[in-house]
Structure 1
Amino acid sequence: MGIFSKLKQAWFGDVNWEKLDDEFFDNLEESLILADVGVNIATEAVNSLRNAVFSYDMKDPEQVKAELRKILLQKLSVGDAALDTAKSPTVILVIGVNGVGKTTSIGKLAARLKGEGKKVLLCAGDTFRAAAADQLEIWANRAGVPIVRQHEGADPGAVLFDALQAAKARDVDVVLCDTAGRLHNKQNLMNELAKLRKIIDRELPEAGRETLLVLDATTGQNGLIQARSFKETAGLTGIVLTKLDGTAKGGIVIAIARDLGVPVKFVGVGEGIDDLKPFDPEEFVNDLF
C-alpha cells in the first residue's frame, strides 16, 4: 500500500542493530504518529517494542520487525472483521457524513455480495441530499441489483419500509440501506437512525443486522472523531475505510480499532467496482513493512 513510507525510512535507515538507541525508537514513534496511528497508540507500541528488544536482547532486524508486527496486530484484533450475512435476510445500514464515499461503497459491496451468490436489494434511504437516490441507482445498475427509492425529500422510514416489504416478497438475502449523511453532530440525524432501527425491529425482527460506518482514510484523526460520535449513538458493528491508496495515511485503521473496539471490515483501494476489499488485519500489518 505504500502508506508507511516514513516507517520504512526509520527502519531501513542508518541503524545499528547491535545496539538500538533512543534515536531509533524516537524516529519509529514519529513515523507512526505521522501515519495517523495517534500519539497514545504510537507511544504504547514503541514502549512495548523497546521493552521486548531489551528483554530478549534482539539484534536481528527481522526479529525486531516481527515483534512490532505482533504488537500492531494485537491492537487491530478487536472483533470479527468478516461481514455477518449468515441470517437471511440481513439488513445493513450504511452511515457516514457526506463526501466519504458512502454511496459508492454501497454499490461496490452490492456487487461483491451478488458475486457471492446472494440476492441483494438497495434501499435509497438518503432522501435529503440532492440526487443521492439517482447516484445510488447508477451503482445499482452497475452491480446488477434492484433498488427501492422514492422522490427527493421523502420520509427515509417510508423508503426503508417499502424496501423491507420488497425483501420479504422477493426472498432477498441482503438489504443495503443508504442513510442521510448530514453532519455527525446533528441530533436529528441520530434520531433518524434510531427510527430506521425501530422499523427493522418491527418489520423484520429476526433479520441479521450490521451497521457500517464509512470513513475517508485521508481525513485522519478527524475520521476518528466522526467514528466516536457515531459509535455513541448508532451502535456500530464495523467500519468501511475508503481511499486507502498509496497516498493515504492508513495508520488510522489501527487508531479506530484500538480506540473504539470496532473492527474495520472493508477497505476501498480504488475507483473500480471491484476495489472494495475485505479487511485482513494480518495482511495489512505485513503491508506496512
Structure 2
Amino acid sequence: MEFLILAVVIALVAVGAISGLVVSSRKKKQLPPAPPSTPTITAPPAEPQVGEDAAPTVEEPRRTIEEVVLPEAEAAAPEAPVVVEPEAPAAPEIEVPAPTAGRLVRLRARLARSQNSLGKGLLTLLSREHLDEDTWEEIEETLLTADVGVKPTQELVDRLRERVKVLGTRTPEELRGLLREELLALVGTDYERAVKTESGTDTPGVVMVVGVNGTGKTTTTGKLARVLVADGRSVVLGAADTFRAAAADQLQTWGERVGARTVRGPEGGDPASIAFDAVKEGIAEGADVVLIDTAGRLHTKTGLMDELGKVKRVVEKHGPLDEILLVLDATTGQNGLMQARVFAEVVDITGIVLTKLDGTAKGGIVIAVQRELGVPVKLVGLGEGPDDLAPFEPAAFVDALIGD
C-alpha cells in the first residue's frame, strides 16, 4: 500500500516537471514585437452577412423634395471658337492733288543744276569786259554742253553778238534782260502747250502715252492722271503695257490714289484689246479723259511700229486720238533725241513730257527736242514726288535758268 502511494506521488511529480518544461519552451519561441516603423496591417472588412446572420437594417428619416439637393449640372461644353474673318483691306484714301496753275513757278528751285550750267554760265561770260572770240567760243560751248543743239546754238550766238554790239555798255540788269528775251524766243511762246483732253464729241478725250521703258513712262502716266484730276477732270487709266512685269500694278496704284479706275488685262496680253476696253469703259462711265500707257520696247522698230500702230487703229474705232505724248528722260541728252526720232516715225507725236529735268545740267534739251520734232514740250518732271509733274511754262522756265 505504501508502495502504491509512493508510485502515485512520483508520477505526479514527473507530470509537473514535464508541464513546466513545455511552458518554458513555448515562452522562449515567442516572436519579437514589430519595430515601430512597420505599418499596422488591418484585416479586411468581414464579408456581408445574409439571412439570419445579416445585421438589422437601420432606417433613415425620409426627406422632402425641397430638402433634396440635386447635384450640380456638369459644366457646359466650351463653345466652338468664333472664326473671325479677316477684314478686307481698307480702300486707299483718295488724295486731292494741289491745283497745277503756277506749279512750275513753285518748283523752280528744282532747276538749280540747269540754272548753274546754262543761265548763270552765260551771264558770267557775257559780263566780261571784253567779249573776244575766245569768249564767244566759250558761250557757244556752254550752249552745246547744255544740249541746246547745234543750229539753235548758232542762232542764239549770232543774235547775242548783234545785240551786244548795238547795246554798247552792258550792266548786269541789261544782260539779264537781253539773255531772257533771246532764250524765251528759242524756247518758243506761240506753241499750244495745254494737254488736249477734249474730243469735241460725246466720247472722252483719249491720250496715249509712249516712250522707252526706263524713262519713267508709267510713273508719268500716273502723275498725269493727278494733273488732270487736280484740274477737275475724271480719268480712266488703260494699262496697255503688258510686257513689263508689274506695270499694270504700278499704274493701278497711281489711279487708286486719286479715285481713277484702271482697266487691265493678263500679263503678256494684247495691248490693243486693253486700250479698246479702256476707252469703252471711259465712255460707259462718262469719264472726261482716258489715259493709255503703252509698252516701250525699242529692240526692233518694226515690232514697235506694228504694236503702236495697232493700238492707235483700234482706239480710233471709238473716236480720234486727241493726244500722243512722248516721254523722254532729260538726262539722256542726245540719246533722248534719237528715241524721239524713232517714235516720231511710228506715231504722230503731239506733245513731249521731259522727266528728270531737275537732275541734269542739260536744260537746253527743251529747245533741242522741240526743234527736232516740231512739237512742244507740254509737261516737265522736276522730282520724285507725286505732284512734281508740272505744265511747262516758257517764261517760268527761262526765269529759273537765269536766276534772280
Q: Does 1:50 align with 2:158?
A: no
Aligned twin of 2:208: 93
Aligned twin of 2:187: 76
**Residues 43 and 4 from structure 1, CA distance in 2 versus in 1: closer, same or farther, beyond 3 angstroms?**
farther
| TM-score between both structures, scaled by the size of structure 1 | 0.92
- Amino acid of the structure 1 residue aligned with 2:123: W
- Identify unmatched segments of 5+ residues in structure 1: none
Instruction: Give, in whole Å, the separation in 1 of the partners of 2:330 and 2:383.
Output: 12
Is the CA contact 2:209–2:324 (under 8 Å) kept in the aligned structure 1? yes
Is the CA contact 2:304–2:346 (under 8 Å) kept in the aligned structure 1? no
**Residues 248 and 178 from structure 1, CA distance in 2 versus in 1: closer, same or farther, beyond 3 angstroms?**
farther
Aligned twin of 1:252: 365
| CA-CA distance at 1:74 after TM superposition | 1.9
Aligned twin of 2:171: 60
Q: Which moved more, 1:108-117 or 1:209-218?
A: 108-117
**Residues 158 and 246 from structure 1, CA distance in 2 versus in 1: closer, same or farther, beyond 3 angstroms?**
closer
SS of equivalent residue, structure 2 residue 128: coil
- Amino acid of the structure 1 residue aligned with 2:383: G
The CA deviation string for residues 225-247 of structure 1, in whole angstroms up to 9 with x for no partner, is 11122112210010011011153
Q: 2:252 aligns with which of 121, 132, 137?
A: 137
- Amino acid of the structure 2 residue aligned with 1:84: K
| CA-CA distance at 1:14 after TM superposition | 9.0
Residue pairs, 1:56-205, within 5 angstroms: 56-57=167-168, 59-77=170-188, 79-87=191-199, 89-183=204-298, 185-205=300-320
Q: Which has the larger radius of gyration?
A: 2
**Residues 62 and 20 from structure 1, CA distance in 2 versus in 1: closer, same or farther, beyond 3 angstroms?**
farther
| CA-CA distance at 1:96 after TM superposition | 0.2
The CA deviation string for residues 63-100 of structure 1, in whole angstroms up to 9 with x for no partner, is 23322322222222262111112335110000000100
| TM-score between both structures, scaled by the size of structure 2 | 0.67
Instruction: Give, in whole Å, the separation in 1 of the partners of 2:353 and 2:270.
Output: 26
The CA deviation string for residues 139-182 of structure 1, in whole angstroms up to 9 with x for no partner, is 12223210000000111111011111111110011000000110
Question: Which has the higher relative contact order, 1 or 2, with Cα contacts under 8 A spaced 6 or more apart?
Answer: 1
Instruction: Give, in whole Å, the separation in 2 of the partners of 1:179 and 1:133.
Output: 10
Instruction: Give, in whole Å, the separation in 2 of the partners of 1:102 and 1:268.
Output: 11
Q: Number of aligned pairs?
A: 286
Aligned twin of 2:326: 213
Aligned twin of 2:381: 268
Aligned twin of 1:242: 355
| CA-CA distance at 1:13 after TM superposition | 5.8
Is the CA contact 2:301–2:342 (under 8 Å) kept in the aligned structure 1? no
- Identify unmatched segments of 5+ residues in structure 2: 1-110
SS of equivalent residue, structure 2 residue 164: helix
Aligned twin of 1:287: 400
Is the CA contact 2:208–2:291 (under 8 Å) kept in the aligned structure 1? yes
Tell me how large the CA RMSD over aligned residues is.
1.9
Is the CA contact 2:125–2:139 (under 8 Å) kept in the aligned structure 1? no
Is the CA contact 2:239–2:248 (under 8 Å) kept in the aligned structure 1? yes
Counting aligned pairs with the same residue, the percent is 51
| CA-CA distance at 1:185 after TM superposition | 5.0
Q: Which moved more, 1:195-204 or 1:119-128?
A: 195-204
